[in-house]
Amino acid sequence: MNKLTENSYHEVHEEHEVNLMCLTKKAFLVYFVIFVYFVVGVGWADSSKKDLTVEDVTNKVEEAQAAFQDAQMDLQMEMKDTVSGTQQNSKGAVKMKSPDKIFVHYTQPTEQFLYIGGNLTEMYQPDQKTLYQQHNGKGKEAAPVYLGVGKQLKKYVDISKVTLYKNSDSEVGLLFIPKDKMTAGFDKMKVLIHKKDWWPYEIEMETPSMNSKVKFSNISFNKGLKESLFKFTVPKGVQVVEGAVF
Closest CA to 95 of 73, 115, 122, 119: 73
pLDDT tens for 191-235 read 888 888 888 888 898 999 999 998 999 999 999 999 999 999 999
- What pLDDT digit, counting tens, does each position of 45-85 carry? 444 456 899 999 877 877 776 788 998 999 999 999 999 99
Q: How far apart are the first and last CA of the chain?
A: 36
Q: Can you list the positions of beta strands (E) in the chain? A: 70-81, 87-97, 101-108, 112-117, 120-125, 130-135, 160-167, 171-178, 188-194, 199-206, 210-221, 239-242
The CA distance from 176 to 88, in Å, is 24
What pLDDT was estimated at residue 6?
47
- Alpha-helix residue ranges (DSSP H) falling in the chain: 3-35, 54-64, 149-158, 181-184
Q: Which residues contact 172 (CB under 8 A, 6 or more apart)?
A: 47, 49, 52, 57, 164, 166, 192, 193, 195
Residue 144, preceding peptide bond in cis (omega within 30° of 0): no
- Predicted confidence at residue 127, as pLDDT, reads 94
102-111 per-position pLDDT tens digit: 899 999 999 9
Cα–Cα distance measured from residue 173 to residue 193, given in angstroms and rounded to the nearest whole number: 6
